[in-house]
Structure 1
Amino acid sequence: MSKRILILDDNQDILDIVHETLSYEKFDVKSTSSGEEVMDMVEDFSPDLVILDFRVAGINGGELCKQIKCHPEYKDVPVIIFSAYINHDDELFGYGCDAVINKPFDLTELVEKVNSLIL
């Protein structure tokens, strides 16, 4: 059974590219551009890894990461935060994420980071 990945990004182009890339790598991928949908999707989809854009409308990716990490059933699910705000890695790790990927990013870097966290 393939590993499940949930992606949040409010930039549709980035969402499409990441979704397509990870699907090509044989992951079962679900994606959304709405931060408000993430926790429901985590509960319904039960992902093996979550990728969150830090800056999205409404709740930010860091706060969502905290919610996932505080949830007894999903606290061990690895979370990657995407951020276009370079040099804020320490702040982002403060939310409890397992990795940070700075935008713009290389798709090879993304796939390697994902593989290192869930395979």
Structure 2
Amino acid sequence: MKKVLLIDDDLDLLEVLAAALACFGFEVNTSSYTTDIHSLVYKYQPDIVIIDYIMKGINGGEMCSALKKKEATKNLPVIILSAYDKVINSLGNYGCNAFISKPFDLQDLINNIRNILYKPAVIAQL
């Protein structure tokens, strides 16, 4: 079972997304706030992280960037969710594997997660 770490300060959305992802067969751990993304990742050992872009203190883009800069977590897939797609498009993608605008279709989110987690390995040409 693939593990998802879901971080969003909207508690209602966090609860609904966690329940929906669990229904699709994912083990879900949630957090509504963190000052240390690395400690959450080391604690839960997720296969993918889904982060809201706008939160109190640090934004999801900065969390993603912090994960992508550290050797131990640079290959950990990250999806950023945000209602502010024009803002993030102007700032860059922070190295995230996908950016999904809110409101979003749940099936689109599931498809993105599956595409990232289960994409076939590329075999080098000889």
Structure 1 residue 92 displacement after superposition: 5.6
Deviates more, 1:32-41 or 1:72-81: 32-41
Indicate the residue corresponding to 2:65 in structure 1. Answer: 66
TM-score (structure 2 length as normaliser)? 0.87
Seq. identity, %: 37
What does the per-residue CA deviation read over 1:9-68, in whole Å, with 9 as the maximum and x for residues that have no partner?
A: 000111011111111111111010003253211011111100000000011100000111
Aligned-partner residue type, residue 48 of structure 2: L
Corresponding residue pairs, total = 118
Q: TM-score, normalised by structure 1?
A: 0.92
Distance 1:93 1:42 in 2: 23
Distance 1:112 1:93 in 2: 23
Q: Does the aligned pair in 2 maintain the 1:81–1:92 contact within 8 Å?
A: no
| Ranges of 4+ aligned residues in structure 1 off by more than 4 Å | none
How far apart are residue 87 of structure 1 and its match?
Answer: 2.4
Unaligned runs of at least 5 residues, structure 2: 119-126
Instruction: State the partner residue of 2:21.
Output: 22
Structure 2 vs 1, CA of residues 9 and 92 (structure 1 numbering), >3 Å: closer, same or farther? Answer: farther
Cross-structure match for 1:57: 56
Letter in 2 for 1:86: D
State the alpha-carbon separation in 2 of the partners of residues 117 and 84 from structure 1.
21
Q: How is 1:85-96 mapped onto 2 (pairs within 5 angstroms)?
A: 85-91=84-90, 93-96=92-95
User: Gaps spanning 5+ residues in structure 1: where?
Assistant: none
